[in-house]
Amino acid sequence: MEYRRLGRTDWKVSVVSFGAWQIGDPEFWGKDDAANAEEAVQVALDEGVNLFDTAEMYGGGASEEALGKALGARRRDVHIADKVSPENCAPDRVRAACEASLRRLGTDWIDLYQVHWPSRTVPFEDTHAALSALRDEGKIREIGVSNFGARDLAQWCGAGGAASDQVGYNLLFRAAEYEAIPACRERGVAVLAYMPLMQGLLTGRYASIEDIPMLRRRTRHFSRHRDGTRHGEDGHENLLMDTVADLRDFAAAVGLTVEGMALSWLAAQPGVSSVILGARNPAQLLDNLRAVEDIGPAAVAQLNELTYPLKRALGPNCDMWQTAENSRIR
């Protein structure tokens, strides 16, 4: 396992981290047994993963509980990244949310405590001050953000800084490359890339739009007429599926799995400290962790070119689920 520095901290984190959303939100990901979730965490630990990401929002805290139980005595060997929801960004609510997360995780501290989405009702300065107080008390160790665009990141850093910014980033959604990632690099903020397999689209599993589960057809890639969408855009369904097919063919031609290719491409992107990989199936997780490799600059350039039409069509709006006018990521 490769390890990289997390922004300006002195931490070295695994280039692939474990995303615990999938082990605690059966409504979105489907039911699974606790033994599978626990085994997946053990696989990650045994493969050298030392960053585990969760949130109070995932399954109403069920993800935190499952992760804490699965880590057990090995909790001290890893960094836990947790997130506070935007509705809990007021100072008194930040403290209460943090303490509730600590109880669910069964730990005395959270290594990286992140603002899940920017609050539009609480000044960043107030939230940052509350987080700084928690850090001074030892309840959290570093402050991070998630889903912050270039403008919000500049304002947040003016209030006191961030170790990292979690952004949605993968071969099928490259909006962060326009502004968000350059802003992170300029300020020494680590990029943590979530949704690296685009909710399963980068697994080679889906041959048509109808094969994709309904709850995963809500992003701006899909037509506004799909159930559950909020963006009101026409989408780019034909271009999306053509790109998926092209990526599948490219992976086969170079002897890679689609998942391994997608994860390896992402790990090669400038500024990315860790790729957050969610998984419930221990065997699949093991295969994907071992598939990450240096694919070389030529393959990276070819993949950039292959996915550029979709990148251009979706544009610089980093919010996968809302139009630019209503974007929560600024």
Q: Which residue type is seen at 161?
A: G
Cα atoms found within 13 Å of the Cα of residue 115, Cβ hemisphere only: 36
Q: Which of 58, 113, 169, 194 is catalytic?
A: 58
Cβ–Cβ < 8 Å for 54, 83: yes
- Which residue in the block uniquely carries the two structure tokens 């689209």? 201
Residue 58 annotated as catalytic: yes
Report how far residue 298's alpha carbon sits from residue 319's, in angstroms, rounded to the nearest whole number: 29
Neighbours of 8 (CB within 10 A): 15
- 134: which 2 tokens? 């928690």
Name the region of 41 (left: φ>0; alpha: ψ -120 to 50; beta: rest). Answer: alpha
Nearest CA among 117, 121, 287 for reference residue 204: 287
Lookup result for tokens 């057990």: 72
Dihedral angle sign, alpha carbons of residues 259, 271, 316, 85: positive
Helix 237-254, helix 258-267: angle, nearest 10: 90
Active-site residues, by number, are: 58
